[in-house]
Amino acid sequence: RYVLGEVVSEEPRCRQCIEDRAVSLAVRDAVGRVHGDYGLGCVSVSFTVKYLNAYTGVVLLRCRKDACGLLCSALPFVRQLESRNQRYPCVLNTLHIGGTIRTCQKFLIQYNRRQMLLLLQNCTNEEDRRCIQKSLLSCSLTEEPSKSGDEEDDDGTE
């Protein structure tokens, strides 16, 4: 199973400093505290952090199907992440449990759409709303072409 989660922290630098190793250690520690050696053994067999986005705080965890309940019940007990000898207080929220990465991706797209609608509805004035819409429309998934030695410079010389 794949567990899609979100790292929630009041410190903005927390999400930018986290690494998949820190998330893995914190989750294993929480499973060990909540379920003991048995739970840790069950979860550790195939547990991995498949994806971590440090900007959005989205994390995708993989575990065996029979250990998914143990993992999900221990996630609320993660209270901090330790990275680069710094401890950052945070909480891991479970967003979705799926059988494939693709179903988790589909859920995340719908979840982000709902969050954007809530953000737009909570705008206090029209200027904030236009600013958010403008920043959304300026997002692009295509890369800008880079200059190579074969292209012409701005002054027209080669």
Q: Where are the domains of the chain?
A: 2-99, 100-136
Q: How sure is the predictor about 84, in pLDDT bands with cuts at 50, 70 and 90?
A: confident
Secondary structure class of 86 (helix, strand, coil): strand
CA distances from 146 to 140, 149, 154, 157 (A): 15, 10, 14, 18
Are the beta carbons of 68 and 4 closer than 8 angstroms?
no
CATH classification number, 2-99, choose in 3.40.50.12280, 3.40.190.10, 3.30.70.3250, 3.40.50.300: 3.30.70.3250
pLDDT tens-place string over residues 19-57: 889 899 999 999 999 999 999 999 998 899 999 988 888
CB 34, CB 69: distance < 8 Å: no
> Does 60 score more than 70 pLDDT?
yes
**Distance from C-alpha of 52 to C-alpha of 99, rounded to nearest angstrom:** 18
Q: How far apart are CA 158 and CA 152, in angstroms?
A: 5
Give yes or no for residue 146 having a pLDDT over 80. no
Is the predicted pLDDT of residue 87 greater than 60, yes or no?
Answer: yes
User: Residue 75 to residues 5, 33, 133: CA-CA distances in angstroms?
Assistant: 9, 11, 34
Find out whether 56 and 115 touch, Cβ atoms under 8 Å: no
Give dist(CA 151, CA 157) in Å, integer.
9
What mean pLDDT is reported for the chain? 83
Confidence at 140, pLDDT banded by 50, 70, 90: low
